[in-house]
């Protein structure tokens, strides 16, 4: 079995050694309930608040604006269900993660009108299209910062101004962006911003929602007075500690070599493999992400072929793996179903090297030659 080199960091990331050490120590030593007044509880409270400050620092917000919860999905749900009410209107986009699209579908069942703005062929939504979609009763605009499949970065600051001019709050799903590009919530002009720890070399099961001071989403979970009455339930202190360390590390590693390695990988494949195209913007995107279309090759077959050669990549969103349907993101950008099924996402991370990238280029070229030779899959 060949060694596995991991190029699927948009799906999840391995724990950093520092995060792992911090979490293991917390599991053993910080076992108090952060709501208890004895020394064990107060020790847990101090560590929890330190972690909250670290997450706030990554986002450029204040600690009291950070709601710690179970991950990006819960953060998106809290933002959407916490703000929108029956009779309201919500504007979002056709390329959002299912953690936004599915709550929006449920909101529609509850009497909330939702408008889905389509992207251009580059995977980016035009701010003016958001303006045209808004109505007098628009209470919330929700647009992802960066797309998980193409890496396309949306014009968040411009959309924020438009949302506020129309009297709406602005929520951003920042799960893919935080730690990869600079995020300063005040400069972006957002009211709510979702993040997830497992995209930042921390464990799954912990995340946060930035809630601008003065914004009061209705809680999804009812119980005790945790998280300033915004999220009931005993806090996951070890997870929060790990998240805090990861946020601190992410701030130090922001950008890094990802863009140069991504460009090396992308250009190497384009040079070596015929009939390949880049899906989405090559200018406004995450530094670690490229989404490539291999005409005449099924994306799932390419993923399997590369896995057998020791490389982990993805044919789309991890939350959609196993689905027969082509990517809703690529379809919304104007690709045909066949083109969407021929696409593969490569997402780099801290552990990748130039040597791994060069080996992946070679493996991709070999896999494409083999699959085109044996496949009956037609060119798009």
What residues are annotated to the active site?
A: 319
Strand pairing report for 207-211 and 192-196: antiparallel
Burial group, residue 379, by CB count within 10 angstroms (0-12, 13-18, 19+): exposed
241 vs 254: CA distance, rounded Å: 20
Phi, psi of 219, deg, nearest 5: -70, 145
196 three-class SS: strand
Query: Using CA atoms, how far apart are residues 97 and 319, in angstroms rounded to an integer?
Result: 9
Determine what percent of the chain falls in helix, strand and coil, rounding each to the nearest 5.
45, 15, 40
Query: Helix H segments across the chain?
Result: 17-29, 39-59, 72-83, 98-109, 127-133, 156-165, 185-188, 237-253, 258-272, 299-308, 328-332, 337-341, 354-374
DSSP characters over 99-143: HHHHHHHHHHHTT-EEEEEPP-TTS---HHHHHHH--TTEEEEE-
């Amino acid at each position: 079995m060949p060694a596995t080199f991991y190029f699927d960091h948009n799906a999840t990331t391995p724990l950093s050694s520092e995060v792992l050490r911090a979490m293991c120590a917390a599991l053993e030593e910080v076992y108090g309930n952060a709501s208890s007044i004895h020394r064990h509880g107060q020790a847990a409270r101090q560590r929890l608040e330190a972690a909250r400050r670290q997450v706030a620092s990554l986002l450029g917000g204040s600690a009291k604006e950070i709601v710690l919860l179970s991950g990006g999905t819960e953060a998106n749900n809290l933002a959407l269900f916490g703000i929108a009410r029956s009779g309201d209107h919500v504007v979002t986009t056709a390329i959002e993660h299912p953690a936004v699209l599915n709550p929006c579908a449920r909101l529609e069942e509850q009497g909330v009108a939702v408008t889905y703005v389509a992207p251009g062929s580059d995977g980016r939504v035009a701010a003016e299209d958001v303006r045209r979609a808004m109505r007098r009763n628009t209470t919330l605009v929700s647009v992802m910062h960066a797309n998980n499949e193409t890496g396309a970065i949306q014009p968040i600051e411009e959309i924020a101004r438009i949302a506020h001019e129309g009297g709406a709050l602005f929520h951003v799903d920042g799960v893919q962006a935080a730690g990869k590009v600079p995020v300063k919530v005040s400069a972006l002009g957002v009211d709510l911003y979702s993040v997830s720890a497992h995209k930042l070399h921390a464990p799954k099961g912990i995340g946060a929602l930035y809630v601008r001071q003065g914004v009061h989403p209705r809680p999804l979970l009812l119980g005790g007075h945790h998280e300033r009455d915004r999220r009931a339930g005993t806090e996951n202190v070890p997870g929060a500690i790990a998240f805090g360390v990861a946020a601190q590390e992410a701030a130090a590693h922001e950008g890094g070599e990802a863009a140069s390695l991504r460009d090396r990988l992308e250009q190497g494949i384009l040079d070596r493999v015929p009939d390949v195209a880049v899906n989405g913007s090559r200018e406004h995107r995450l530094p670690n992400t490229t989404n490539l279309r291999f005409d005449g090759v099924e994306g799932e077959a390419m993923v399997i072929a590369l896995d057998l050669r020791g490389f982990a990549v993805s044919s789309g969103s991890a939350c959609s793996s196993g689905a027969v349907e082509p990517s809703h993101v690529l379809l919304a950008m104007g690709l045909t179903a066949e083109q969407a099924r021929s696409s593969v996402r490569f997402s780099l991370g801290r552990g990748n090297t130039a040597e791994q990238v060069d080996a992946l280029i070679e493996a991709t070229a070999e896999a494409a030659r083999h699959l085109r030779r044996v496949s009956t899959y037609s060119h798009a």
